[in-house]
Amino acid sequence: MAEAQKFCREYYDELATIFNAEDQIAALRAVSAQSLTDAIWVHSQYHAFWPQVDYWNLPDAKCVVHGHTAKVWILKYCLFSYNFVCQKSTQSNSELKYYMVQGSLTWKGAQTACRANGDDLASILTQEDYTAFQSITETQPFEMWIGLYWKTSTRMWEWSNGDPFPYCVSEPQLGASNCCSLTYKGHGQTENVTLEKIDCSLKRPFLCTGKKRIKQTIVRMSLKSNTGGDLNDPVVKEQMLEQFRKEFAKNGNFIQGLRWRDLPNGEVFRKTVELGSPDEGQCGSG
């Protein structure tokens, strides 16, 4: 994962980020074009201000409550009944963005109640949002529905108002991860693609975003053949290039288009003799 991200930042803009279903479809098309069927590294962000996710989540639960313990979100079955928090669709500078509703409803019932007032269940996208949300909930001794839920049709977490939740998950559990992959299964159907948390040290193909940046560097070197072999031999030259690629890769430096630079006579190396020494060397550049 770290190597993939370093490569993308050096030669493009960033490792591909999946924010919504459209991003997922676009990534899938790129994967399908290369006939890849393995997990693909993509970028995932989990904002530091978002609460921790409780480890004691109910299996297959797909709706989220804000716990009465600070900074905790918990997965609950959507048919359970809880109090809930709505957010205003419009607000003036003097108004609070969120308001709490007393009375227990299912997640869908809470969503309907908020929308009946022209509003929606609470979504929390920024640090400012969470600060405002906390100002009305931090002293409450009960759990409350928020707008976050698992959308089965897109196989992604989403807020009730349609805002994306850019964050890697392993269905059906909600959990943060530093390393995220787009796992491709099947023959191009989007329902067979999911975002999953996997070991950051695994080797996987990856997707980058942004326009490719071309960087060219010419390195001049002197080499000595201990066996007296011809360094201009095509097989020898390719073996040396492959060895250079491996050495660069050990430090996370991936070189694209590594090649030898030909001299006017069509060769790469020219023989040189060091003064005062019987040994011959060969110089070239790549």
Q: Mean per-residue pLDDT for 82-106? A: 86
Q: Mean per-residue pLDDT for 226-251? A: 80
Strand, coil or helix: what is 249? helix
Task: Assess whether pLDDT exceeds 70 at residue 86.
Answer: yes
Contacts for 115-121: CB closer than 8 Å, 24+ residues apart: 117/86, 118/89, 119/86, 119/87, 119/88, 119/89, 120/86, 120/87, 120/89, 120/147, 120/160, 120/161, 121/84, 121/85, 121/86, 121/87, 121/145, 121/146, 121/147, 121/159, 121/160, 121/161
Same domain, 172 and 229: no
Task: Assess whether pLDDT exceeds 60 at residue 164.
Answer: yes
Of the ranges 30-39, 174-183, 205-214, which one carries the lowest mean pLDDT score? 174-183
> Pick from 176, 191, 207: which residue ends a domain?
176
| Cβ pair 211, 13 in contact under 8 A | yes
Q: Which pLDDT does position 38 carry in this prediction?
A: 61
Same domain, 171 and 236: no
Task: Assess whether pLDDT exceeds 50 at residue 95.
Answer: yes
Same domain, 258 and 156: no
Task: Assess whether pLDDT exceeds 50 at residue 133.
Answer: yes
Same domain, 162 and 103: yes
Same domain, 169 and 261: no
Q: What is the domain extent for residue 158?
A: 52-176
Residue 197 lies in a domain: no
Same domain, 270 and 162: no
Same domain, 276 and 160: no
Task: Assess whether pLDDT exceeds 50 at residue 171.
Answer: no
Residue 35 lies in a domain: no
Residue 274 lies in a domain: yes
| Cβ pair 77, 57 in contact under 8 A | no
Residue 252 lies in a domain: yes
Task: Report the CATH number at residue 99.
Answer: 3.10.100
Residue 27 lies in a domain: no
Residue 123 token pair:
């979504």
Residue 32 lies in a domain: no
Q: Which pLDDT does position 104 carry in this prediction?
A: 94
Q: Which pLDDT does position 269 carry in this prediction?
A: 82
Same domain, 97 and 149: yes
Same domain, 139 and 79: yes
Residue 190 lies in a domain: no
Task: Assess whether pLDDT exceeds 80 at residue 225.
Answer: no
What is the total count of domains within the chain? 2
Q: Tell me the average pLDDT of the chain.
A: 76
| Cβ pair 43, 19 in contact under 8 A | no
Residue 91 lies in a domain: yes
* pTM, entire model: 0.53
| DSSP-based helix, strand, coil % in the chain, nearest 5 | 20, 25, 50
Question: Within 10 Å of residue 149's Cβ, how many Cβ atoms?
Answer: 23
Task: Assess whether pLDDT exceeds 70 at residue 20.
Answer: no
Same domain, 98 and 153: yes
| % of the chain exceeding 90 in pLDDT | 17
* Pairing outcome for strands 193-197 and 52-53: unpaired
Same domain, 161 and 226: no
Single-letter code of the amino acid located at 260: W
Q: Mean per-residue pLDDT for 107-116? A: 96
Q: Which pLDDT does position 254 carry in this prediction?
A: 63
> Pick from 121, 141, 176: which residue ends a domain?
176
Same domain, 239 and 160: no
Q: Mean per-residue pLDDT for 39-65? A: 69
> Pick from 145, 176, 207: which residue ends a domain?
176
